[in-house]
Amino acid sequence: MTATSGRTTAHPLRLAIIVGALGVVFGDIGTSPIYTIQTVFNPADPHPVPLNEANVYGVISLIFWSVMAIVTLTYVTLVMRADNHGEGGIMALITLLRRGASPRGHRTAMILAALGLFGAALFFGDSMITPAISVLSAVEGLKTIEPGLETWIVPITAVIIVALFTVQRHGTALVGKFFGPVMIAWFAAIGACGVGGILTNPGILAAISPTYAIAFMTNHFHIAFFALAAIVLAVTGAEALYADMGHFGRRAITVGWLGLVLPACTLSYFGQGALLLTDHDARSAPFFLLTPEWARIPMVALATAATVIASQAVITGAFSVVSQAVQLGYLPRLRITHTSASTIGQIYVPWINWVLMVSVLTLVFAFETSAALAYAFGMAVIGTITITTLLFLYYARQQWKWPLWAMLAGGAVLLTVDLLFLTANLTKLVHGAWLPLVIAVVAFTVMTTWQRGRHLVTTARRKIEGPLRPFIDDLGRQRPGPVRLPGTAVFLNRGDDTTPLAMRANVEHNHVLHAHVVIVAVETMPVPRVPDAQRVTVDNLGYRDDGVLHVTVNTGYMQRPDIPAALTLVPDDAAEGGIDLGAASYFLSHVELIPDGDGDMGAWRKRLFVATSLMTADVAGYFNLPPERTVIVGSRLHF
């Protein structure tokens, strides 16, 4: 039995990698102690948890064991073993399900893949809510220093968020090296404050026993069930551990989690519990009030830095999910900028960046406090976690051949935990939990509409493009044939069985064709990266003397499809007389989409598809074609 799908890149365990993981992977989950317990005991909650000794012990114990079950067991121990050549995340898991499905289980795998796509859509809601709730919760520490500063919390938060999204275009390469040390300082600080709180009431350590969590759930279920909607905030960021696995490796993330993050967060939660046992008034901000008064200003500053880093991580994660969705055909080609020459995962997607910024600012001004956003946040988090767990269990059974009894027994425990949290959050629908669901439904509708519409448009295009080989056959039989111009023409196409529209127009309307013709199709492989040795596949289509060559460029879903760079990998002897890429002209086919009333796709979805297509980036820029040598030929297409 194997626990991986095969890695292409090894991640040697070095201190620098662990520090980097601490700075990127754990920002979200590492800042959850700021607002989790505060939200649980919030008296304004529609289902308040009474603040008494039994409930404090029960809540702290439940938080600890929820983190152990969901983060340590589900993600770190199990889910992170399901990687796609070293890459993780729910999109990678979808790819594994689609690729490994047997003919008999194909339908089930496709249904689960669609469910996984909804999980990815939920992540977009997470990407909007995380910056809002994280930065708000940190800036709210100001009111523990000076109550009069409370009116400045929202404006200061808005300024920080605008600054955060404005600098995204510069990438994280310049400041990334500081993220790790800042987060190390953060975890050391919250751990130390937690120790200070525990020393005032060491009895709180008894809550490490699961009996307190069990007693809380069984004896006070009517209270504990509703408390789960806030306790789930302790596991926010669990998905980031899996999504960022490709950058740091499972071992580095595991060491960082077990060696520093889990102990620090645990100490903070237990310290806050000890504080609440002795001072009930501290429920308004137990995290900051746990800090000695002389250190609160530095702690607010450090918390703000930590939440900015947490926000940065989830924004970068959103860029990565969008990039993978584009490569897998769920979204149109968007302009994607690589902000680092050495780290391929550092990308910037302008369109998504500004949509996220507007969305985050809207949430800040609409909800105004982190407590008001908490229930929206919880639904986004647990929805993604539940879907990931379900997909993982199916994958483990189908690919790793886990015994049925083991999967049912283990899966029942894991899913029971997830579903308890999920149903608890459903009780908060009218209090904000509806928000990530609406965002997810919209994102899911857009992605599935694009996938379906793309299939319809491709089918319609095939009819007007016609087959490629008969078209080239006719070139040899035409008398007189088209005028062969000196030089090389590169025509981008979708495969090797149809004729590029631009090429057909050149021959049929202009009666010309270059002496050397390279037809290029880009194939996105279900792996993150394709090595150079496998990047291009060359086919002379059986007409070597006609100077027509077909090249398939294979690219991973984490790679940029750079056509000129890929063509340099074509062997010199692939074409008679060679091809001159230095002076080649690139031809693109631009299709204007005209929706009609026919077909099995609703008229509103066709209009949505056309509207979504307006997001498409400049094709020449997407494929890195030289603009001064790129020619676009247009046509209309009814679908």
Phi, psi for residue 522 in degrees, rounded to 5: -105, 125
CB-CB contact of 49 with 281 (8 Å): no
Q: How crowded is residue 105: how many other Cβ atoms within 10 Å of its Cβ?
A: 15
Question: Residue 599 has which token pair?
Answer: 């077909």
- Is 92's pLDDT higher than 50? yes
- Is 9's pLDDT higher than 60? no
Name residue 96's beta-bridge partners.
none
Q: Could you read off the pLDDT of 543-585 as tens digits, one per residue?
A: 555 678 889 999 886 677 889 989 888 887 776 666 778 888 9
**Backbone CA torsion sign across 573, 577, 581, 584:** negative
- Is 175's pLDDT higher than 60? no
The DSSP bridge pattern shows strands 548-556 and 512-525 to be: parallel
CB-CB contact of 339 with 173 (8 Å): yes
Kindly indicate the confidence band of residue 60, based on its pLDDT and cuts at 50, 70 and 90: very high
CB-CB contact of 334 with 352 (8 Å): yes
In the chain, the percentage of residues whose pLDDT exceeds 90 is 36
Residue in the structure block whose two tokens are 């504990």:
224
CB neighbour list of residue 463: distance below 8 Å, 6 or more residues apart: none
CB-CB contact of 334 with 349 (8 Å): yes
CA 118 from chain center: how many Å? 12
So what's the pLDDT on residue 6?
Answer: 39
- Is 463's pLDDT higher than 90? no
Phi, psi for residue 579 in degrees, rounded to 5: -120, 140
Average pLDDT score, the chain: 85
Residue 547 CA to residue 601 CA, distance in Å, equals 41
Can you list the alpha helix ranges (DSSP code H) found in 466-546?
A: 468-477, 501-505
Question: Dihedral angle at the C-alpha atoms of 604, 609, 612, 618, nearest 10 degrees?
Answer: -150
Question: Dihedral angle at the C-alpha atoms of 260, 266, 272, 277, nearest 10 degrees?
Answer: -150
Kindly indicate the confidence band of residue 52, based on its pLDDT and cuts at 50, 70 and 90: very high
pTM of the entire predicted model: 0.79
So what's the pLDDT on residue 55?
Answer: 95
Which residue did the predictor score with more confidence, 587 or 174? Answer: 587
Residue 220 CA to residue 351 CA, distance in Å, equals 48
Cα–Cα distance list, 337 to 245, 340, 354, 593 (Å): 21, 9, 14, 27
In the chain, the percentage of residues whose pLDDT exceeds 70 is 91
So what's the pLDDT on residue 100?
Answer: 64
Least confident range of 11-15, 325-329, 369-373, 380-384:
11-15
CB-CB contact of 3 with 81 (8 Å): yes
For residue 327, count CB atoms less than 10 angstroms from its CB and return exposed for 0-12, middle for 13-18, buried for 19 or more: buried
Kindly indicate the confidence band of residue 75, based on its pLDDT and cuts at 50, 70 and 90: very high
Which residue did the predictor score with more confidence, 618 or 138? Answer: 138
Mean pLDDT of 304-308: 88
Q: Which element (helix H / strand E) includes 638?
A: strand 630-638
Q: Which amino acid, 25?
A: V
Residue in the structure block whose two tokens are 């062997």:
571
Mean pLDDT of 294-307: 91
So what's the pLDDT on residue 171?
Answer: 63
- Is 64's pLDDT higher than 70? yes
Least confident range of 169-173, 182-186, 315-319:
169-173
Residue in the structure block whose two tokens are 């596991």:
235
- Is 603's pLDDT higher than 80? yes
| CA-based nearest residue to 494, from 415, 542, 561, 427 | 561
How big is the CA angle at 122 (ends 118 and 124), to the nearest 5 degrees? 120
DSSP state for residue 342 in the 8-state scheme: S
| CA-based nearest residue to 375, from 40, 26, 29, 34 | 40
Question: Residue 87 has which token pair?
Answer: 């890459």
So what's the pLDDT on residue 299?
Answer: 93
Question: Residue 465 has which token pair?
Answer: 């493009």
Q: Could you read off the pLDDT of 197-238 as tens digits, one per residue?
A: 999 999 999 999 999 999 999 998 989 999 999 999 999 888
Kindly indicate the confidence band of residue 509, based on its pLDDT and cuts at 50, 70 and 90: confident
CB-CB contact of 381 with 435 (8 Å): no
DSSP state for residue 329 in the 8-state scheme: T
Q: Which domains does the chain have, with CATH numbers?
A: 15-432 (1.20.1740.10), 467-638 (no CATH)
- Is 145's pLDDT higher than 80? yes
| CA-based nearest residue to 268, from 37, 110, 609 | 37
